[in-house]
């Protein structure tokens, strides 16, 4: 039986369903009492090959971390491996095997 941790911690790549309906994937840089600092947040978008990832902040510097408050998150979970690999390739350009 595979047991998955339920809480996201610093260093994890997490998936967040926001109160506005968007699904965001990002690396957690820091965790606070009221939210997270995230690195390179991406919005999940459907495309002809399945799903794609777009920068959540199109006009912001992708290298700058952002803050997200827990009150705006409806659901959160660790990102599945296939999508985590896609996120890493999208945000770093590193091809994982």
**CATH number for 71:** 2.30.30.100
Domain span holding position 79: 13-92
Give 81-92 as a DSSP string: HHHHHHHHHHHH
Count: domains in the chain = 1
The model's pTM is 0.86
Q: Is residue 47 part of a domain?
A: yes
Asked if residue 5 is part of any domain, the answer here is: no
Query: CA geometry: angle at 35 spanning 72 and 59, to 5°?
Result: 70
Contact 41/28 with Cβ under 8 angstroms? no
Q: Is residue 58 in some structural domain?
A: yes
The per-residue pLDDT for 25 is: 97
**What does pLDDT average to over the chain?**
90
**CA dist., res. 87 & res. 89, Å (int):** 5
Tell me whether residue 64 is in a domain: yes
pLDDT digits (tens, 9 = 90+) for 23-59: 999 999 999 999 999 999 999 999 898 889 999 999 9
Is residue 82 in a domain?
Answer: yes
């Amino acid at each position: 039986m595979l047991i998955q941790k339920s809480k996201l911690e610093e260093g994890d790549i997490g998936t967040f369903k926001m109160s506005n309906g968007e699904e965001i994937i990002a690396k957690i840089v820091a965790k606070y009492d009221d939210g997270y600092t995230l690195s390179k947040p991406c919005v999940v978008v459907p495309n002809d090959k399945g799903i794609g990832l777009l920068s959540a902040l199109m006009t912001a510097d992708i290298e700058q971390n952002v803050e997200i408050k827990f009150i705006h998150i409806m659901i959160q979970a660790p990102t599945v491996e296939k999508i985590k690999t896609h996120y890493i390739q999208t945000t770093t350009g590193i091809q994982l095997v």
